[in-house]
Amino acid sequence: MECHGTPMMKLQDRVAVITGAGGHLGCGIALRLAADGARIAVNDRSLQEGSKTLNLISAQGGQALACVADVTKTPDVNEMISQVKKQWGRIDILVNNAGGPRDALLVKMSDEDWDSVVDLNLKGSFICARAVAPHMIEQGGGRIINISSTAYTGKNIGQVNYASAKAGVVGLTRALGLELARYGITVNCVAPGLISTPKTRAYQKKILDRLIEAIPMRRMGEIADIANAVLFFTTDEARYITRQVLHVSGGVVDL
């Protein structure tokens, strides 16, 4: 017996806010969720970068809204959430993807190196979660997915700030998941390992070879691997999963 027809899109008509969606990883997540029917609020600090993602979503037939905001600033985030609510009337999914490192050895790490990384990776996730939570509570549910990194285990030299911030994201995930579970809101975390991006592919060959050698699967992951993990946490199949950290790392588990 054969089945025909178009597969049902799992996120049809749901609204997702994705921070840092102008970057390579954020763009990949946005495109994946849009392909499954979600309407995407594309956040970035740069209109130029965010517009690239918005145009790609539109080109594949999806709906998207550009939201220029600095996630470390509460007024910016509150204005962004108001913009999304005005456009689509609801917010079902928040992906706290905005982040990045600023590496330096401890003795050479400035206050600015520390503050900028902690603010972007951890404080930004807190501010965005705080802004969307009342709307999700009012709706009777929602999904928050935080992007951490396997760096939270403290396995890399020169990343005291980044490891601390990403470990904080894990703690944030577990604390928020406990607090919001009663409202039908799940909070989960995806921790990427070494992922193939223009930045990682530009590493010196000997450095890249050494990093790949430490991965049990002996290869880098793809942006699609992270996007698929995020998608899973947004779907009904994950409705009873919360406060979890999923390593997408080719088998690297360094706890």
Residue 112: what residue type? E
Kindly provide the b/e burial profile for residues 207-223, where b requires at least 16 CB atoms within 10 angstroms of the residue's own CB: eeeebeeebeeeebbeb
Spatial neighbors of 28 by CB under 8 A, at least 6 apart, are 223, 224, 226, 227
185-192 sheet: strands from edge to edge = 64-68, 39-44, 15-18, 93-96, 142-147, 185-192, 245-248
User: Which stretches of the chain are DSSP H helices?
Assistant: 24-35, 47-59, 74-88, 111-118, 124-139, 160-180, 198-201, 205-213, 223-234
Active site residue 162: yes
Q: What is the Cα 200 distance to its own chain's centre?
A: 18
Spatial neighbors of 222 by CB under 8 A, at least 6 apart, are 195, 196
Give me the catalytic one of 162, 183, 203, 240: 162
The helix/strand/coil state of 248 is strand
User: Which residues are designated catalytic?
Assistant: 162
